[in-house]
Amino acid sequence: MKFSDILLEKMLEKSTPPDQLMKSGVINIDDHKFTYEAKVYRFKSTIGLDNGRIVKLKVIDEKNKILIEYDHYWIIKPAFTLSKEVLERILNEFNS
């Protein structure tokens, strides 16, 4: 990543109101409840998930177990079918 890209990201981060950056919610699939928090840029980024708008993401299940975590890189990738479906829904919502 070039210095100019990093500088641009920081400028965008400061110019975007905080309520537009942080997103959170609940996704229900069958009898399972998943809670997520995401930091979403207004524009796609080279540091975003799949070069998209999501730069940070954490998904936990109803037992408070972290299922997915991304913070400019993968910390915990989705490992099973339900967590992959949750990630797909979040990507469809915020990463385009």
pLDDT for res 71: 94
Beta bridge partners of 73: none
DSSP 95: -
Mean pLDDT of each 10-residue bin along the chain, 96 residues long: 60 54 93 95 89 95 96 95 96 88
pLDDT for res 95: 84
Residue 68: other Cβ atoms inside 10 A: 23
pLDDT for res 17: 54
Convert 35-56 to b/e letters by CB count within 10 Å (16 or more is b): ebebbbbeeebebbbeebbbbb
